A and B are shown apart, each in its own frame.
Chain A
Amino acid sequence: MRSFWAIYRNEMSHYFVSPIAYVFGGVFLGVAGFFFNGILTVMVQRAMQMGMEAAQYGGPMNFDVPSLVVQNFFGVLGSLTLFLVPMLTMGVYAEEKKRGTIELLMTSPLRDWEIVLGKFLATLSVYGLLLVPTLCYQVFLFHYSEPSPSVKILVAGYAGVLLLAGALISLGSFLSSLTENQIVAAVLTFGVFLIFWVLDLAAQGATSGLGGLLHQISLVQRFNDFTTGVIDMASVVFFLSFAAFMVFLTLRSLDSMRWRKA
């Protein structure tokens, strides 16, 4: 357990001592802020428009602006995760291999799972920490909007982003363990994410057959449920088992390094 924390700490320090975490955080928060602002403006305009229409033609004004803003914002966070995770995970193992430090880790009295879990949880923690500043957008919403957005959407949304990030990070780390070239790792990871994205579009609306299956296993679809405030246990289990499976594959990959190395 002590070794697990040593790996975890070392990985965290790698992100925060080098500029990685700061550059990453800057880009992430900048883009997220830009979209938040955009969504807010559009939603407010539409609400005013609908308000005017309601006043003109009568009828109820049924437009929950705060919740829609939050919901769309989580959608943006999900997409950002797809774009940024490959850059966060590309070096996790590839860099260790390139530098030769993997030789130090693998000849130290460490269990493979201590290495793999330490690295996985450290990367997920970094991502989690980057999400913290986005809470200030929610604070704005709570402070200024009437009615306040539902807390349930916020909790479900953040849980969804973290689960999605966990699944993607575990996948990205696994792909990073297959190569010693960071660019290759990043491109591979990004390619796989894009395929997820495309499959999701193909499966949209389908309920049966191949489309239905794709719908069931689509990370993006499952994530979208969370942004509407629904915490579906099936989806939680799906994300967790996805990550667990990828961690397992990474363990196998680490083990196979010993056998392949020329």
Chain B
Amino acid sequence: MIEVENLTKVFGQTTAVDHVSFTVQKGEILGFLGPNGAGKTTTMRMLTGYLPATGGIAKVCGFDVAEQSMEVRKRIGYLPEVPPLYSHMTVEAYLDFVARIKGIPAARRAERVNKALEMAHVDDRRRELIHRLSRGYRQRVGLAQAVVHDPDVLILDEPTVGLDPKQIIEVRRLIKSLAGAHTIILSTHILPEVGMTCDRVLIINRGKIVAEDTPENLTTQLRGGDRVRLLARAPENGLRESLQTLEGVRQVTIAPVRDSGRVSAVVELAPGQDVRSRIAAAVVQGGYELYELRSDRMSLEEIFLQLTTEETEEAARREA
């Protein structure tokens, strides 16, 4: 549905988006995750045709964004970071206007406007002036605007920013309900959000994709992989020896637990390996007492932090 190849955007001296490539299947929800200024908004703007790319190709529904912009624009619903609302209009009049400029024929316009009002749960405010609406309602009117012409592709730039927790849950549910019929790209810098809404995540930092996977795989397979924490009564060196020889173990960090004679160990495992039972066996065979053993998945947050900071350290080293 969406194919992006080596998409690049250069503003003067800075490269905002650097050879980004990815594809999105029909009905999928793809999340862009990255710190502020990572290039998420720029990538989205290039996909919608609002910004021309410096290099690379982006195709939406098989149409080239640069060459067949009109075809692409007909098929895209876009919610920018700030919802593009005309505050002097009523919600209904605004959606009617958007339906008109999206080229919806007069016969289907009222029906589409009603559908969008319903989908975004703003039908109770349809006659209200937009400038009287609260932040949450405005965001939802923004969403209604993006879906009013029933586009194949939805591009949502930080759709939950500035909402209260209850509204965030509602908007997320709404987005989930739109998947399937629509292909969705959304961006966020809130980590749990991608885990909750997206099928796949792209972590973007400094204009580059640093990781791409499902939220689950990202948490299990990436770099750090799994970790196991254990609590045992054992001499540090002896425990280390018996653990380090195990297959699939990358690193063992052992620290004594104060006053108890016990030690706690963090065992980092290679990706995709589950050796918890063998760890338990090794500890017991060594003649040590095992008190606790638990799998400690790296949260998306940690991976995110790790990926984005490593990147910065590397850059700092390069510069030095």
Contact = CB atoms under 8 A, between A and B. Distances in A.
A99 to B, nearest CB: 7
Interface in A228-252: none
B110 interface: no
Given A13-B89, A17-B89, A261 B101 contact: no
B16 to A, nearest CB: 8
A105 B102 CA distance: 9
A107 B58 CA distance: 15
A130 interface: no
A187 to B, nearest CB: 24
Contacts, number: 72
B50 A14 contact: no
Interface in B93-145: 93, 97-98, 100-103, 145
B78 interface: yes
Interface stretch (A2-10, A27-35, A168-176, A213-221): A2-10
A139 to B, nearest CB: 34
A109 B102 contact: yes
A261 B48 CA distance: 14
A108 B100 CA distance: 10
B263 interface: no
Contacts of A7: 101
A262 B11 contact: yes
A100 interface: yes
Contacts of A207: none
A106 B48 CA distance: 9
A101 B79 CA distance: 11
A100 B82 contact: yes
A104 B45 CA distance: 11
Interface string B43-62: 00100111110000000000
Interface stretch (B28-36, B69-77, B206-214, B290-298): B69-77
B100 A101 contact: no
A6 B80 contact: no
B117 to A, nearest CB: 18
A18 interface: yes
Contact of B88 (A3, A14, A100, A103): A14
A101 B85 contact: yes
Contacts of B22: none
Given A7-B101, A109-B103, A258-B50, A100 B84 contact: yes
Nearest to B83: A100
B86 interface: yes
A105 B101 contact: yes
A229 to B, nearest CB: 41
Given A107-B50, A107-B78, A262-B11, A101 B89 contact: no
A107 B85 CA distance: 14
Contacts of B101: 3, 6-7, 104-105, 108-110
A259 interface: yes
Contact of A3 (B51, B89, B103): B103
Contacts of B103: 2-3, 109
A6 B51 CA distance: 24
11 contacts: A2-B100, A3-B101, A7-B101, A13-B93, A104-B98, A104-B101, A106-B49, A107-B76, A109-B70, A109-B74, A109-B101
Pick the 10 closest A-B CB pairs, nearest first.
A6-B100, A104-B84, A101-B84, A109-B73, A107-B48, A100-B82, A108-B101, A109-B74, A18-B88, A103-B80
Interface of B: 11, 45, 48-52, 70, 73-74, 76, 78, 80, 82-89, 93, 97-98, 100-103, 145
Given A3-B101, A6-B101, A7-B101, 5 more contacts: A10-B97, A17-B89, A100-B82, A103-B78, A107-B78
